[in-house]
Structure formats: structure tokens, C-alpha cells
Amino acid sequence: DSKKSKDSDDTSLSAQEILDMLLGCLCSVGTNGNVLMESPNLRDGTTVFGVEASETGEVYMPPATSEKGTAQDENDHEQQSATGQAEYEALSSCLKDWSNAKQKKGNIGRNEGIDQHATSAWRKMSGSVGAGFQLAVRSGPLCEEPVRNVLVLLEGAEIAMKSSSESSSSEYEPAKSLSSGMVVSALRSGIRCALLTRPARLIEGYLRLTLNSSLAGLGALYSVLSKRRGKVVDDSMVDGTDLLAITALIPQAEAFGLAPELFAKTSGEVTAPEMTFSHWQRLDVDPFWIPTTEEEREDYGELQQAGDSSTGLDNTALSYIRKVRERKGLKVDSSRTVVAAEKQRTLKR
């Protein structure tokens, strides 16, 4: 046991070595805590595969446009769509066992020439890769707002290559000219799609309220703040008066029209609130939550009949997303779809 522990101590890395390794994989650092990193296998070209494209420069051929496809057409389509399938499976096996990726790639028997040219083409894209990452985290997929605290790890790449016509058959070049705009657009779309595959949460700003209230208006004040998801953090008596000095936190989205409502509910027993920005806080509500259990379906309705609007009635995050997208002129899915227009409905909503 002591020998095993000694061997494990010898193979363990120090904190400085781990930090140096992470800094070596660092590609770009964005604002709001966003980081783009390359895996060690991608940096040394182990998980960069070159795919020999067709004559038109494509890897996956589109299906035939015939209305009635025959068995021969289906077989031809299967053969066409299989172009690049071997490289995809090889890359997937290397990513699953990343510690032995180099050995796995050697056992596959790949054409080293096309992979080397693909690796050199990938290294020329470093500037465009960073620009695509910055553009993706600057406007997220939910509300086109900045993304916060996200780590993007690039693990592998496939590049369509073809034989160079100006040199021998052992020389390869990208099947299509890789402009910087093309790389930026592709990486931006890839990162945005990857963000939607993971659980997403909104970050909302909070305001700090300071106001004075009498004892008569204290109940209505607490009622208004709780309805707007506010929270009182401190209340103390003002010396020489019967007023309370109250400090509260309220989401910035819920602060619109707060003062008129306070004056109306408390009959003027509170002073006008002074609002200052406090902090950012995560809203722990899943905007894509869907009722699944029987009790949830009874409370929120069936999706087949009520549409997606049924999940957004009490979903604070989804209602915020829809309001922001509507204000920005983006596509909103809040329109109610009537499945059975002739069916009598007695629900108010």
C-alpha cells in the first residue's frame, strides 16, 4: 500500500503544473467570465481529421429530389451520405477515450498527409475562432443578451479537404476557401446550439430600495414587495419618529410602476423609494420546463391542447424571455394556437 501511494504521489501534478497546462490550452477570454479553451488533443492535432470531399467540395451529399424514390435511389443516397462517416466515427472514439486518443488514431490507419494539412489549416483559423467565440457570448440564444460564466471547450474538428491541383496527389488543401467570416459564423452557430443543449438560466439585476414607512402601511408594503418577488433585508425605527427605515431588494424587471402602486396600496403611508443597483443574481427557474406528471398536467394543462403558452403562464423566466424578445422585435412563440376551434371553452385564460 505504501508503494502504491508513493507511485501515485510521483504521478500527481502540482497546482502550478495544472495552472500552466490550463493556460497553455487557453484561446480567448471574454467579458463576464467566459472562456474559450482547446483540448490538448486538438492543440497538437490528434483530434483534427481531414475528410476527403467530393468533386463539388461537399462531404455529406443532399438527398435526391425525386418524388418517388426507388430502391436504387435509396442505395445511392446511402452511399453518398456515407462520405465522411469513417472520420466521424474515428473522431467520436478518440473523444470518448481522450487519454489514449493518439494511440487510437494510430490504430485506425489514417492517411497522415491529409490530417497534417487539415491541422495546419485549423491553426490558421485561431484568430477567427476567437472572434466567433466573442460574437457568440456577446448575444446569447435566449434573449440576445450577453452570456455569463460559460466555459467553451473545443475538442475536435473535421475539415473537408481535396487534392491540390497545382502539386502532387499527396498535397491537400481545403475543399473550399475558408474565409474568416465563414469560420466566425460557423463557430458562433455551433456555440449557440451547444448552449441550448445544456440547462439554461437567466441572470437578472437587483435593485436596493430605501424608504420610510409608518406602522399603518407596513402590511401593504410587505404585500406589494412579496408580489413583485422583493425581499426586506433590514428594518429599523427612525429615532424621534414613529417611522420605520426599510431596506429591501427587488428584481429590476419588477420595479416598473412600483412607486405608484405603493402609494395606492398604503394610502400614502410610505415615502418614495430610492433605487440603486445592488447585484446580479441567477433566476433558478427553468424556462423550458414542461409538465410531465399527472398533477402537473392538471395544474398547467396538456401541451397538445393548450400549446406552449400553458407552460409560460406561471413561468417567470419564460415570460421574461418573451417580453425581451418582443421588445427587440425577435420571434416570439407566445401566440396561442387553437387546436379545436369548434370546441366550447369555458376557461378564462
The per-residue pLDDT for 77 is: 46
Mean pLDDT of 97-123: 68
Question: What domains lie within the chain, and their CATH numbers?
Answer: 17-53+89-99+110-197 (no CATH), 203-282 (3.30.70.240), 284-348 (no CATH)
- Asked whether the predicted pLDDT for residue 69 surpasses 60, the reply is no
Mean pLDDT of 305-329: 71
Q: Where are the beta strands (DSSP E) in 120-238?
A: 151-154, 157-163, 172-174, 202-214, 231-237
The Cα diameter of the chain in Å comes to 94
Q: What is the pTM of this model?
A: 0.69
Q: pLDDT higher for 48 or 275?
A: 275
CB 150 within 8 A of CB 158: no
3-state secondary structure of 328: coil
The span from the CA of 52 to the CA of 175, in Å, is: 8
- Asked whether the predicted pLDDT for residue 5 surpasses 80, the reply is no
The per-residue pLDDT for 269 is: 86
Percent of the chain with pLDDT over 90: 7
